[in-house]
Amino acid sequence: PKLVYDFAEGNKDMKDLLGGKGANLAEMTNLGLPVPPGFIISAEACKVFLTTGAMPAELADEIDHHVAALEQKMGKKLGQADDPLLVSVRSGAKFSMPGMMETVLNVGLNDDSVNGLAHQSGNPRFAWDAYRRLIQMFGKTVLDMPGDVFEDAIEAAKDAKNTTNDLDLDADDLRKLVDMFKTAVRDHTGRDFPQDPREQMDLAIAAVFGSWNSERAVLYRRQERIPADLGTAVNICSMVFGNLGMDSGTGVAFTRDPSSGQPGVYGDYLQNAQGEDVVAGIRNTVPLADLEQIDKKSYDDLMAIMAKLEGHYRDLCDIEFTVERGKLWMLQTRVGKRTAGAAFRIATSLVDEGMISIDEALQRVTGAQLAQLMFPRFDADAEKHLLTKAIGASPGAACGKVVFTSAAAVEAAKRGEKVVLVRRETNPDDLHGMIAAQGILTSRGGKTSHAAVVARGMGKTCVCGAEELRVDISAKTIQVNGTSVSEGDVISIDGTTGEVFLGEVPVVPSPVVQYFEGTLDPASGDDLVASVHRLISHADGVRRLEVRTNADTGDDSARARRFGAQGIGLCRTEHMFLGERREAIERLILAEEDAERHAALAELEPLQREDFCEILKAMDGQPVTIRLIDPPLHEFLPSMEELAVKVALAEERGEDPGRDATLLAAVRRLHEQNPMLGLRGVRLGLVIPGLFAMQVRAIASAAARLKKQGLDPRPEIMIPLVGAVQELELARDEVAKVLREVSEAEGVDVHSPIGTMIELPRAALTAGQIAESAEFFSFGTNDLTQTTWGFSRDDVEGAFFSCYLEKGIFAVSPFESIDTDGVGALVKIGAERGRETRPDLKLGVCGEHGGDPDSIHFFHQVGLDYVSCSPFRVPVARLEAGRAAL
């Protein structure tokens, strides 16, 4: 198979093979944009290299062929002493992994050609700067040398000249640096810096391939759920130079503001620099708008190209460009990352601009983004101590103790403390700390700095470029406008406004939540709320899945309904037995005779009836699936240890432990080794006479009362943890009998559907039989995950899940996102077999997965009727159910 592609041979849809960067360089080339010529080594070659440790046999020949063609096109050769062809060797995987992998610029320079370049460009400073960059980048990325070796030498050279500006180093200084760098290479690696350009290129290619498995790349992929086996392509791109003088420069640009989504000119520009200087925040950039003054022609060209790219990709693009002596070159573009708010605003703006359809707009936003928009904001009316205001790079409201290193952030997070990571600038090694922190604050760099880009990708709050902060990492203090902040002090950062406050600022609900609550009109002028309103309304129009909620109080039910829930998919009844009602439950458990048991049940029934009344009223006209009692009874009794101590103490004092002794005996009797697999669910109903009947009577009489008031209560009665149809038949008979009795006694028909949970593998496999007796199924995917995998959630998440995630056994916890191959297969089987028996069987899912975007798409595919999730996830589920239907 072909392993190397000229830029002109690819296009934007070839990301699997050419990586995102390569595919888009190819696309821009074919659009006729000014892209320096080059070629792409495909990710297939990388996969071979990663699995076998060697380059594919044909690769060298193919590269030779493309190098020759490139030399022909450029009219100069690699290593040509008087006018060398220089190239960059750039990584570029299918999914962008900002700063995670390596790039080497100026490949092709050596001790001879550096003089040729100096002569040819008429600019010796530039030539020596290019050479020192090559050795520096090559040393770090290809030869694995520590970056400090080079950075310290540059600092020393600047100190010697009493300057802090790289530009004050002249040709002579840079030539001396090159000598030092070459010596450092020899000292560190035992060999000379390779002088053969083709060897430089081959080593750089291997290093880029190898960087796929660098620690930080592995961590980033896990965080972003990017598959581990894709590999990266390598782009060989002829060099253009932004460091030829003040008429040259380099920059990054966005076609719209990636943090707000507003149209306008956004980006950063740096004169007389090569690309990596911008991102590294080594020197402070100027806003892109200033380029208009600096170089009007390049600015106009760039604006025209940006308009063309946005029209072509029909989305926000981000761009890397370089100006070489007044000529604009495009070095990269891609559909840009953006904040959640920007995603919604851009999607609807593009609809208004006639660029995309509303269906496409819905596909461009995600439930995860909507969830982010529902986070609270800082209270505008609270008293605050403003420390400084900088660039809001990634929105959110974060409070925490100040830490200055990633290690400290990770340590604090382990102790359960909230921290804000404060750095001068971040680099890829800070990834652990950024993940652990609530937010990130940097004193340097703009919206395109490493901190900003990575934070936006993670949905983390970030304020950057806070130049007023004097961050002293070794003293662990910040001086800012007369205030001193030390490690451990609490600060609050607002990633939208860029404000930094001392102390903890209180938060208020987001406007998007106010809109869902019905207290903010979508036409009130808040354009983000208007976008959310449009897209979620469209999702409601196209989705097939209904969205219900898990709620067991009237308040939660009412809120979920305001958030758009179409009923309750899971109303748990066990909390109704807690608090003061515990005693009645204790009496029920301790009852030795029917009379005592009846008395205890009779006490509970009216309490339950009032609970159900409240919920059924809040959900009037909508289905309310009520699950009969599920947990093992000992959960309602005091702990065995506490009781044992109490009884022992009483006995020691010669007192009669009385009821405590009886309770202790009951707790011992009910004690189970594996309560999750013990006496619970339908088993309780069958073993403890009258328990289910009492609950059903409470439900039915609540419904009867509401019906008499002219309301429309719609309870559905759900039997948990059924494994065999016989269990369900027995329970069902009892339930049906009570419903008949109440109907007769009250004189109103309170018949309600009776169904079951499918949460045991046996239930899924025998769903055909179970459906004989069930009018609906609700897949309890929490328990189904536990019973299918054979692990108990509460026990394993801390114990070994992180190890499993690290080893790649799961990409994400199966409790968070449904394991489609295993647990999902059981859901599918259950749905199919159930519907064979009973074509109109209503199918739903309750459990955490009901609010998880990926799982929702799966449930849509297997034909369920609804998902049920916690009230706050309801809007997320509505949006994702709409997206799943497109």
Binding partner of residue 62 among ligand ADP, Mg ion, none, CB cut-off 5 to 8 Å per kind: none
Task: Indicate which single residue of 20, 36, 392, 685 sits in contact with ligand ADP (rule: CB under 6 A).
Answer: 36
Shortest distance (Å) from residue 323 CB to ligand ADP: 11
Q: Which of 838, 719, 831, 847 is nearest to 784 (CA)?
A: 847
**Which stretch in 160-168, 256-264, 273-281, 447-455 sits in contact with ligand ADP by CB under 6 A?**
273-281
Binding residues for Mg ion restricted to 767-796, rule: CB under 5 A? 780, 783
Task: Indicate which single residue of 29, 243, 332, 781 sits in contact with ligand ADP (rule: CB under 6 A).
Answer: 332
Task: Tell me the residue type at 840.
Answer: D
Instruction: Return the residue matching tokens 């992998």.
Output: 101
Task: Indicate which single residue of 17, 203, 217, 331 sits in contact with ligand ADP (rule: CB under 6 A).
Answer: 331
Query: Residue 474, SS3?
Result: coil
Q: Is 533 a catalytic residue?
A: no
User: Which residues contact residue 511 at a Cβ distance below 8 angstroms, ignoring those fewer than 6 apart?
Assistant: 377, 520, 526, 528, 529
CB atoms under 10 Å from CB of 215, counted, come to 11
Taking the least distance from each CB to Mg ion, the nearer of 97 and 485 is 97
Q: Which of 565, 551, 552, 555 is nearest to 516 (CA)?
A: 565
When CB distances to ligand ADP are compared, the closest residue is 275
Instruction: Return the residue matching tokens 């070994």.
Output: 800
239 binds ligand ADP (CB under 6 A): yes
Encoded one letter per residue, x for contact with ligand ADP by CB under 6 A and - for no contact, window 69-88 reads: -------------------x
* Beta-bridge partners for 780: 846
318 binds Mg ion (CB under 5 A): no
User: Which residues contact residue 229 at a Cβ distance below 8 angstroms, ignoring those fewer than 6 apart?
Assistant: 47
Taking the least distance from each CB to ligand ADP, the nearer of 275 and 631 is 275
Helices then strands, each counted (H, E), the chain:
36, 31
Where helices occur in 428-526 by DSSP H, the ranges are: 431-436, 450-458, 511-517
Binding partner of residue 267 among ligand ADP, Mg ion, none, CB cut-off 5 to 8 Å per kind: none
Binding residues for Mg ion restricted to 704-763, rule: CB under 5 A? 759
Shortest distance (Å) from residue 512 CB to Mg ion: 32
Where helices occur in 543-580 by DSSP H, the ranges are: 554-562
Q: Is 464 a catalytic residue?
A: no
197 binds ligand ADP (CB under 6 A): no
Instruction: Give the 3-state secondary structure of 621-666.
Output: CCEEEEECCCCCHHHHCCCHHHHHHHHHHHHHCCCCCCHHHHHHHH
Shortest distance (Å) from residue 241 CB to ligand ADP: 7
Tell me how far apart the alpha carbons of residues 768 and 771 are, in angstroms, rounded to a whole number: 5
* Beta-bridge partners for 757: 778
Shortest distance (Å) from residue 630 CB to Mg ion: 6
Binding partner of residue 494 among ligand ADP, Mg ion, none, CB cut-off 5 to 8 Å per kind: none
456 binds ligand ADP (CB under 6 A): no
Taking the least distance from each CB to Mg ion, the nearer of 107 and 403 is 107
Tell me how far apart the alpha carbons of residues 435 and 433 are, in angstroms, rounded to a whole number: 5
Structure token pair of residue 370: 């909507």
Taking the least distance from each CB to ligand ADP, the nearer of 428 and 623 is 428
Are 720 and 784 a contacting pair, CB within 8 Å? no
Q: Distances from the Cα of 597 to the Cαs of 58, 235, 732, in angstroms?
A: 82, 77, 22
Q: Per-residue b/e over 66-101, b at no fewer than 16 CB within 10 Å?
A: bbeebeeebebbbbbeeebbbbbbbbbbbebbbbbb
105 binds ligand ADP (CB under 6 A): yes
Binding partner of residue 759 among ligand ADP, Mg ion, none, CB cut-off 5 to 8 Å per kind: Mg ion
Binding partner of residue 23 among ligand ADP, Mg ion, none, CB cut-off 5 to 8 Å per kind: none
Structure token pair of residue 682: 């339908």
Task: Indicate which single residue of 24, 29, 103, 255 sits in contact with ligand ADP (rule: CB under 6 A).
Answer: 103
| Candidates 66, 317, 399, 450; catalytic one | 450
Shortest distance (Å) from residue 252 CB to Mg ion: 8
| Candidates 538, 846, 849, 860; catalytic one | 846
207 binds ligand ADP (CB under 6 A): no
478 binds ligand ADP (CB under 6 A): no
Task: Indicate which single residue of 99, 498, 761, 853 sits in contact with ligand ADP (rule: CB under 6 A).
Answer: 99
Shortest distance (Å) from residue 285 CB to ligand ADP: 12
104 binds ligand ADP (CB under 6 A): no
Taking the least distance from each CB to Mg ion, the nearer of 331 and 703 is 331
Are 755 and 776 a contacting pair, CB within 8 Å? yes
Q: Which of 351, 321, 305, 85 is nearest to 200 (CA)?
A: 85
Shortest distance (Å) from residue 313 CB to Mg ion: 17
465 binds Mg ion (CB under 5 A): no
Residues designated catalytic? 450, 846
Q: Which residues bind Mg ion (CB under 5 A)?
A: 320, 332, 759, 780, 783
Chain positions contacting ligand ADP, by CB under 6 A: 36, 88, 90, 99, 103, 105, 237-240, 274-276, 320, 322, 331-332
